Amino acid sequence: MSTSHERTRGRPDYIRIEGLSKHFGDGGEGVLALKDIDCSIEQGSFVTIVGPSGCGKSTLLRILAGLLDYGTGQVVLDGQSIRGTRRDVGVVFQSSILLPWRTILENVMLPAEVLGLPIKRARERAMQLLHMVRLEGFEHKLPRQLSGGMQQRASIARALLHDPKILLMDEPFGALDAMTRERMNLELQRIWIESGKTVVLITHSIPEAVFLGDRVFVMSPRPGTLERVLPIDLPRPREMAVMSDPVFAAATASIRERFSHAASFD
Amino acid sequence: MTQATLSTSAEPVSVPGTKPLPRPRARPPLSNATRVQAVLLLAAILGLWEAGVRLSGVSRQLLPPVSDIAVALWNGFNTAPMAKDGYWYHSAITLSEIFLGFVVGSVVGLAIGIVVSQVPRLEALASPYIAALQSVPKVALAPIIVVWLGFGISSKVMIICLLTFFPVLVTSIAGFKAVDADRIDLLRSLSATRWQIFRYTKFPSALPYIFAGLNMAAAFSVVGAVVGEFVGAQAGLGVLILQSEAQADSAGSFAVMVVLSVIGIALTAALRKVQQRVLHWMPADSSQRTVNS
C-alpha cells in the first residue's frame, strides 16, 4: 500500500473482533442483529463501515463503544476485552447532541467534567480543538446559533477532548446536505491525519466510505454479517478530485455490486 | 493563520447558517403603543364599572363602585404597619404563609421527584399512591389541618405545602422522564455515573417542566392561603374578607381581593423573571412564527 503521507502505524490487531454475535429479544423470538463478525483494525488506520439499513453497523459500533452488551464472541481493544464504556474511546453520534443550555466551549469541555480531568488543562485543550475544527470565535455561542455542520464539528471536538485513542463515528454527516458533507469529509481527513487516531466510521454513502477509508468493511443484513473487507489503495491526503480516479470508481462499483446482491428492496 | 486550504473559509457571523442570539425573553416586549392600549383598556373597564353601578341603581353593598373600593384600599393601607386593622399587617401574614408554603412544598415535591426518578423501582411502587393522593381535594383537608395545627400561620403553610407539592412532584417526574435518549447515550459513552447523568442531562432537561409545575404551584399558593384563612385563622387577608362581609362592607372585601390579585400577579411575574434567566437557552416559541421571525 503506497501512501504519500507518513503516518505512525501500530499493531495490526489493535482492535480485534472474533466471532461476535448479537441477538435482540428473548428466546425464539427476536432478531439476530450480528452474526459471527471477525475482523481486526490496525492502530492509526481509518476504517469505514458501509451497508444497507438493518445490516447491524450501528449495533456493531455501539458494541465497540461499550454502549451495548453482546452475547457471544470477543471484542478486544489494545489487548483488553471490551465490556462497557471506556475512557480511551470517543464517540460521535449521528446528531451532534450538544447540550442546548451550554455554550459551545462548555459542551466541548463536558468529557473533562464527567471524567474528572483538570479543568484548566481541559479548557486550553478545548480551545485548541475548537481551533482545529475551525470554530474559533464561536466558543461562547449557544448550539442553536450554529448551523448543522458547525454543530457536528463541535461534537467532533468534544469527542477528542479527553484524547481517546479511538474515535467511533456513527453516520456523523448523515443529517447534513451534500456540499457540507463533502467539506466535512475533507475536514475529518485532515483531523485524522493531524491527530493520528484510529477511526471507525459508519456511513450509508459508498463514495464517502471509499473516500475516507483505508479499508472499507462491507456489511449485509439479515443477519448482519461482514461480507467483505476492501482495501482502498489511494494515496493520502485525498482530495475531491480523487473521485474521478479509476481506482475509486472500481472500488465504489465493487461495493455497489455487493449491495445489490445482499440487499433487497423492502 | 491563513485559510489557504481546500475546505471552507471561516464562517463569519453574518453568513446564513448562524443566527444572532435573539433577546432572551419568553414574549416580545410590549411596545409603547401596547402599553397605552393596556392602560386605556383598564381605564375603560373601571369607568364602565363605576358608571354601571351608579347608573343602574344596584345596591352599593351588592356591587360596590370602583370609587368605594378605592376608598377602602386607601383606608386600609393608610395605617401603621403593625396595626391589626390595617392591610399591611394582614398582607404580611398572608404573604409569609404563601412564601413559606410555596418554597417548602416545592422543594419537597422536587426532592421526592428526584428520588422517585433515580430509583427505578420506586416510581412503579409510588405512582398509585401519588395518583390517589392527588385526587383528594386538599382544600377539603383544610379543616382537619386547622384542628391539628391551630389557627396560627403553620396550618396555612401546611395547606399550601400540600397544594404546591403535587404539581411540582408530577411535573418534575415527567420532566426527568422526558430527557432525550440521545443525551443519555452521550453521557453513557463518557462512562458517566447515574448521578452524573442526572446532573448533566436529566435535571437541566427537566427544568422547563419543573417551571410549569412551579407556575401552577404559585397560583395554588394564593388560593391555599385564602382558603386556609377562611377555615380558621386569626389574621390574614382571608380573615379580612370574612370580617368585611360580616360587617356588610363589600367594598372592603373587593379591596382585599384587589390586594390578593396584585400579590398573585407579582408572584407570577417574579417567577417568570427567574424562569427567563434559568431557561435563557430555550429557543423562542416556534408556534408564534410570523413574517418577522
Question: What's the domain range around A144?
Answer: 96-164
Q: Is residue B134 part of a domain?
A: yes
Q: What is the pLDDT of residue B21?
A: 53
pLDDT in tens, B81-100: 777 778 888 899 999 999 99
Q: Are A9 and A162 in contact (CB under 8 A)?
A: no
A220-237 pLDDT, tens digit each: 887 888 888 999 999 989
Q: Which of B169, B177, B167, B173 is nearest to B201 (CA)?
A: B177
Interface test with A, best of B1, B6, B196 (most A CBs within 10 A): B6
ipTM score here?
A: 0.87
**Residue A208 placed within a domain:** no
Question: Which are the contacts of A141, defined by CB distance < 8 A and separation ≥ 6?
Answer: A103, A104, B18, B21
pTM tops 0.95: no
CA A32/CA A19 separation, integer angstroms: 13
Q: Which residues 26-55 of B have a C-beta within 8 angstroms of A?
A: none
In a domain, A87, yes or no: no
Assigned domain for B20 exists: no
CB contact under 8 A, B191 and A147: no
Q: Could A67 and B188 be called an inter-chain contact, meaning their C-beta atoms sit closer than 8 Å?
A: yes
- The reply to whether B169 falls in a domain is yes
Check if the beta carbon of residue B114 is closer than 8 Å to that of residue B177. Answer: no
B246 at interface of A, judged by CB pairs closer than 8 A: no
| Contact status of A114 with chain B (Cβ, < 8 Å) | yes
Residue A116 has pLDDT above 80, yes or no: yes
Q: Do A190 and B182 touch (CB under 8 A)?
A: no
Chain B partners within 8 Å of A190 (Cβ): 5, 7
For residue A262, what pLDDT is reported?
54
Confirm whether A127 is domain-assigned: yes
**Is A97 within 8 Å of chain B by CB?**
yes
pLDDT (0 to 100) of residue B73: 86
CB contact under 8 A, A91 and B204: no
Inter-chain residue contact B192 with A114, CB threshold 8 Å: yes
Residue at B159 is within a domain:
yes
Residue A166 pLDDT exceeds 50: yes
3-state secondary structure of B100: helix
For a pLDDT cut of 70, what percent of chain A falls above it?
A: 94
Distance between CA A164 and CA A90 in Å, rounded? 6
| Distant-in-sequence, close-in-space partners of B49: CB < 8 Å, separation ≥ 6 | B65, B66
* CA-CA-CA-CA torsion sign (B227, B230, B232, B238): positive
Could you tell me the sign of the dihedral formed by the alpha carbons of A55, A59, A64, A69, in that order? negative
Range of the domain at B98: 85-280
> Is B187 within a domain?
yes
Task: Kindly state whether residue B78 falls inside one of the protein's structural domains.
Answer: no
pLDDT beneath 70: ranges in chain B = 1-30, 286, 288-290, 292-293
Alpha helices in B119-202 (DSSP H): 120-135, 142-149, 153-177, 181-189, 194-197
Q: Using the Cα atoms of residue A7, residue A8, residue A12 and residue A13 in order, give the sign of their dihedral.
A: negative
- A102 part of a folded domain: yes
Structural domains of chain A, count: 1
Q: Which of A63, A100, A92, A77 is nearest to A159 (CA)?
A: A92
Q: Quick one: what percent of chain A has pLDDT higher than 90? A: 55
Q: Is residue A69 within 8 angstroms of chain B, CB to CB? A: no
Contact A32, B150 (CB under 8 A): no
Q: 3-class DSSP state for residue A65?
A: helix
Give the total number of structural domains in chain B: 1
Cα-based distances in Å from A184 to A89, A178, B115, B145: 21, 10, 43, 66
Residue A123 lies in a domain: yes
In this structure, the number of other CB atoms found within 10 A of the CB of residue A69 comes to 10
- CATH number for the domain spanning B206: value is 1.10.3720.10
Bridge partners (DSSP) of residue A17 are A39, A75
Q: Kindly state whether residue B17 falls inside one of the protein's structural domains.
A: no
Interatomic CA distance for residues B173 and A201, integer angstroms? 37
Yes or no, beta carbons of A100 and B201 under 8 Å apart: no
Which amino acid makes up residue B251?
Answer: A
- B37 located within any domain: no
Nearest-by-CA chain A residue for B281: A101
- Put simply, the answer to whether B191 touches A114 (Cβ < 8 Å) is yes
**Each residue's pLDDT tens digit, A9-55:** 688 888 888 888 888 877 667 788 888 889 999 999 999 999 888 78
pLDDT at A265 over 70: no
Helices then strands, each counted (H, E), chain B: 11, 0
Cα of B66 to nearest chain A Cα, Å:
47
Using alpha carbons, list the distances in angstroms from residue A251 to A19, A225, A232, B108, B284. 27, 20, 7, 63, 48
